[in-house]
Structure 1
Amino acid sequence: MPRNKSIILLSAGHACVDVYQGAVASLVPFFIAERAYTYAVASGIVLAASLLSSVAQPLFGALTDRRALPWLLPVSTMLGGLGIALSGLAGSYPLTLAFVAVSGIGVAAYHPESARVARIASKGSHTAMGWFSLGGNIGFAVAPILVTAVVATGGLRLSPLLAVPALAGSVLCLPVLRALDRTARTGSGTAAPVGADDKISFVKLSLAVVCRSVVFVGLSTFISLYAQQRTAGGTSAGTAALFVLYLGGAVGTVLGGSLAGRWDRVTVVRRSYLLTVAAVAGIVFIPGPAFYLFVALTSAGLYVPFSLQVTLGQDYLPTRVGTASGIMLGLTVSVGGLAAPLLGGLADAASLQVALAPLIMMPALSWLLFRTLPEPTAPKPVAPARQSADGAGIEPVPIQRTSSG
């Protein structure tokens, strides 16, 4: 299968999965309205989706480093959709948390293996990986529209309709998996390069992404409600703010790949976080229509680094691509949900503005961490991929360079 077609299908499948990450925050206003949850209680739902995902993604990543598990893509996609579909039907808060947690596990299982498959299908291209990441951003952007269209018309009882993207995503990945399996059997594939691990830089990168995650999850959870206060609008004003926050991610991801062609990735990410500091301050303190401009700038500032951080993580840990992918796409992103209940409790005790103000310093910390990071050196090439021992996928075979090579 041509590389572009594979990446398009994987990107579309990624969008279908990440609808369910965006859906959790999109459902929060409806849980508050229909079930009279407080800010802190509602933010616990975001925590449930994030907590198990935070723990599980690196475990799934380590597992896929040892053995290819391509069947995880369709199965985890369905699991992510099933949890969200049932969360609106749960009559009790514990059941709602349980179903959202199930969705989080599905998302956790998907990302490490899908990133491994995408890296192989992209033949190590940073641009192609950027398009793969773009799919997830589009899924986030579509989530508030999809959730509002379904739940606002008939209430949470219509949440089973939210399983439709999962059905689509599970089908979209199958042609790519079949093509990669055929490539593995013929031994004609080309795997991504490998090199030496830089664990210190990877830890610094992970901490920077955690800070980014706190900002993004905090805004995702409360910006819909905060927009209604700052713009004197209704539910539509909140949905619009969440849509801008997610849609700007699609623009930022494409822009990041373009800018990285002019400067190195570390420089682009560092400058993006510096811009984000001012943009988040604008969200917190500037009222009126300008609020949406700062939401858009914040979204772009947070997402320009997104795909670049994924490829940086893989290049810092080239011998553990699955683990690096699980941490970059999972743990560091999901761990931001741990801050959501703290922000919710602060909002209940004071106000949403007071709760969101600490988010301004998070991108500043990411900027400081990136000032100490090097651009990874070009890794060594590898031989054509071989089939894994269990026949489930393909694994890279390192080549030893000769002195003349």
Structure 2
Amino acid sequence: MRRNTPITLLAVGHACVDIYQGAVAALIPFFVAERDYGYAVASGIVLAASLLSSVAQPLFGALTDRRAMPWLLPVSTLLGGVGIALSGLSGSYGLTLVFVAISGIGVAAYHPESARVARLASRGSHSAMSWFSLGGNIGFALAPIMVSIAVGHGSLHWTPVLVLPALVGAALCVPVLRMLDGQRAGTSKTSPVEGADDVASFVKLSLAVVFRSIVFTGLSTFISLYAQQRMQGSTTAGSVALFLLFLGGAVGSVLGGSLADRYDRVRVSGWSYLISIVAVAGVVFVPGPAMFLFVALTSAGLYVPFSLQVTLGQDYLRSRIGTASGVTLGLAVSIGGLVSPLLGRLADSTSLQTALAPLIAMPTLSWLLFRTLPEPAAVEPQSAAPVRQDA
């Protein structure tokens, strides 16, 4: 198997899984239209996807620190797809929350182990890790298109069609698992972890990622409805805005990996958050079609540091790679969904613009935190993330 093949397969599999993170936001306008949900009730669906995922991801990360569990990749991919596939079948709000939560657990189980495997396959390359992250961004970007195709010309009862990416993603995991089995067979012992954990820097990094999550999740939940309002009720405008918010992340992830190979990760991330402050303000306040430009710039700015934060977390907490991945790639990302109901309530009582305005402060806080972070020394992934052998 060629050296880049595992990363390519992992990136495509990542796309298949993150379709289901993006699908939750993409389904919100359809739940509002077909079931007459208010902003706060609709954002509760995002909360359901985020709540269990937020709790479960670091737990799965801690488990993968104790024992490698590559079988989680196909199993969690299928779980994420089945939950979303069932979410539109029942008119019951409670069952909808349950099915979306099941999908969130699948997504939670996938990310820590996939990040550990991707770091091993990337051999410490920031560019390779950015391609892995790119897969997730593409999945986000494809979500509104797939939801529109499956549900847009029918009803929510067509959501079972959305299980198809999960079937593809699970199948693509098979050759990666075979590669890992080959590596285990050729390894007699694990290497010791070098260097001490920098817990203080890891906590600061996690807070920065939380603030990033709040602004991104808030926008992804409401940007479609906000664009419709700004463009005289055009549903196409809403789909375009959501697509740009997700697609811009593809550009940002690859750009972040490339810049990090020339400059250090902390500096590149700080620059991107500084740009994001202006971009988010443009989304909220700039009138007319120019809003779409700021949506794309916001997405790119928020995604430049995405894969860099994952490897920074792994280097700050190098003795617990799974836990670090579960927090930076999982908990701190999905926790933004916990704020969505608060934004929904504020929008119900005032306006969407008023509710989105506080999001401008979030990249500001991330930028301030990154100004206090050191650039850790690079660690070889074989040492930083040893795969424990089965007894």
- Aligned counterparts of 1:8 and 1:320: Cα–Cα separation in 2: 25
Q: Does 1:21 align with 2:5?
A: no
Q: Give the drift of 1:389.
A: 3.8
Contact 1:123/1:190 (CA < 8 Å) preserved in 2? no
User: Cα distance 1:296–1:282, how it changes in 2: closer, same or farther (>3 A)?
Assistant: same
Evaluate the alpha carbon distance shift between residue 188 and residue 318 of structure 1 in structure 2; reply closer, same or farther with a 3 A threshold: same
Are the structure 2 counterparts of residues 31 and 180 from structure 1 closer, same or farther at C-alpha, using a change threshold of 3 Å? same
- What corresponds to 1:304 in structure 2? 304
Query: 1:238-257, aligned counterparts within 5 Å?
Result: 238-257=238-257
1:329 aligns with 2:329: yes
What is the CA–CA distance in structure 1 between the aligned matches of 2:197 and 2:153, rounded to whole Å? 51
Q: CA deviation at 1:383?
A: 6.5
CA deviation vs aligned residue, 1:187-224 (integer Å, no higher than 9, x gap): 29998974321000000000000000000000000000
Matched position secondary structure for 1:124 = coil
Measure, in 2, the Cα distance between the counterparts of 1:314 and 1:192. 15
1:115 correspondence with 2:115? yes
Amino acid at match of 1:121: A
- Which one is further off, 248-257 or 262-271? 262-271
Pairs aligned (count): 391
Corresponding position of 2:354: 354
Give a deviation string over 1:109-155, Cα, whole Å, max 9, x none.
00001111111112222221111111001000000000011101111
List aligned pairs for 1:3-402, cutoff 5 A: 3-187=3-187, 194-379=194-379, 388-390=388-390
What value does the CA root-mean-square deviation take over the aligned residues? 1.8
CA distance in 1, matches of 2:70, 2:31: 35
Structure-2-length-normalised TM-score: 0.97
Instruction: Tell whether the 8 Å contact from 1:192 to 1:381 is kept in structure 2 after alignment.
Output: no
* Structure 1 residues 56-76: Cα deviation after superposition (integer angstroms, max 9, x where no partner): 000000000000111100000
Q: Is the 8 A contact 2:54 2:332 kept in 1?
A: yes
What TM-score, normalized to structure 1? Answer: 0.93
Q: Distance in 1 between matches of 2:381 and 2:214?
A: 36
Shift in Å at residue 178 of structure 1?
Answer: 0.6
CA distance in 1, matches of 2:227, 2:327: 31
Structure 2 CA distance for aligned equivalents of residues 134 and 343 of structure 1: 28
Question: Equivalent pairs: percent with the same residue?
Answer: 73
The answer as to whether partners of 1:189 and 1:384 remain within 8 angstroms in 2 is no
* In structure 2, distance between residues paired with 1:230 and 1:317: 44
Aligned partner of residue 237 in structure 2, secondary structure: helix
- Contact 1:16/1:139 (8 A) holds in 2: yes
Distance in 1 of aligned mates of 2:367 and 2:206: 13
- Distance in 1, matches of 2:333 and 2:9, equals 23
CA distance in 1: counterparts of 2:326 and 2:203, whole angstroms: 14
Q: 1:6 and 1:256 mapped to 2: Cα distance?
A: 21
Letter in 1 for 2:291: F
Judged with a 3 Å threshold, the aligned counterparts in structure 2 of structure 1 residues 75 and 380 are, in CA distance, closer, same or farther, namely closer
Give the gaps of 5 or more residues in structure 2: none
Are the equivalent residues in 2 in contact too, given 1:312–1:376 (CA < 8 A)?
yes
**1:53·1:107 contact (CA, 8 Å) conserved in 2?**
yes
